[in-house]
Amino acid sequence: MLAFPIELVVAFLVLIVLMTGIRVAQEYERGVVFRLGRYRDTRGPGLYWILPLGLDRSVTVDLRTRTISAEQQETITRDSVTVKINAVLWYRTEDAAKSVIAVRDSQAAVYQLALTSLRNIIGQHDLDEMLQHRDKINDLLMQSIAKSATAWGLQVERFEMKDAELPVAMQEVMAMQAQAIREKRARLIKAEAEFEASLKLSAAAAQIATNPAALELRRFQMISEVGAENNSTTVIMVPSEFSQAARTLSDYLKEHEQKPTT
C-alpha cells in the first residue's frame, strides 16, 4: 500500500475546504455576504471567495429588470363606476443589500404594493379622467410606490395601466354619448354650410337683379343641365317679362287698395 504523509493529506483536505468557499456571480448578479449572521459586504460580478464551513453565507441577487403583470383588479372610481383594471410593473434591484436585509421577499412586497396603489389611485379619479388622462394616472401610480420601493433597494422603472374593462351598461351609455356628440358635430357643420350657401345665393340674387340678361343666361344653363340629366322632361319657357309684369300689376293693385275712397 502507498503511504501518504500526513502533512499532504491535511493540506489536501484544507485545499478542498477552501475551494468550497469559491463563488461565481454573473454580470447581472451580486452576492450579498453575511459573516456569522451579520452583513459583511456585496461582491461580484465574477469570482469571489467566502469563508467556508458556514462562517460566511452568500445570497445571490439578480439585478436585471423584472416584469410583473398585475392580476385584474376590480375597483370603484370616484364617480362610483365599477371598473376592472389590468396593469404592468417594471422594476429592478438597485441595492442588493437592502433588497435582502430590508424585506423578506422583495418581489412579493412590491407586487402587493403595486396592487394596493392601483386601487387607491383609481378610486381617487373619475372615469373620464382615467380614460382620457392615462399618462397622468401612470405617473401617479409610479410615484405612489417609488418611495417605498427605494427603501427596499428597488427602483421602479414603469408602472402603467394596460387595460380597463367597463360594465356593459356603461359601455352602452358611452356609445350613446359618443353618437350624440358626432350627430351634434354633423348638424353644426351642416348648419354652417347652409348659412354660407345662403349668403352666396343672396349675393348671386342681388347680382342677377342688377342685370336681367344674367337671369336669362342662368335660366338657359339650368335648362341645359335638366336636359342632360332627364331627357324625357318637358320644360316650358316663360319669359321673365311676364313675371315682372305680374309683379308690377300686383304692386299697382296694392297701392290702389290702400288709398281711401272719396
Alpha-carbon distance 106 to 99, whole Å? 6
Looking at residue 247, its pLDDT comes to 73
HEC string for 12-67: HHHHHHHHCCEEEECCCEEEEEEECCEEEEEECCEEEECCCCCCEEEEEEECCCEE
Whole-structure pTM value: 0.64
For the chain (262 residues), the mean pLDDT of every run of 10, in chain order, is 71 84 92 93 92 91 92 87 91 94 92 91 88 89 90 93 81 79 88 87 76 68 66 64 72 70 49
Check residue 262 and give its pLDDT. 46
Domains (ranges, CATH) in the chain?
A: 6-61 (no CATH), 66-171 (3.30.479.30)
Cell of 138: 401612470
Q: Give burial (CB, 10 Å; 0-12/13-18/19+) of 148.
A: middle
What pLDDT is recorded for position 179? 84
pLDDT of residue 26: 93
Which pLDDT value is given to residue 246? 73
Q: Which residues of 161-175 are buried (b: 16+ CB within 10 A; e: fewer)?
A: beebebeeeeeeeee
- Which residues on adjacent β-strands are paired with residue 155? 92
The residue type at 132: Q
What's the rounded Cα separation, in Å, for the pair 10 and 12? 5
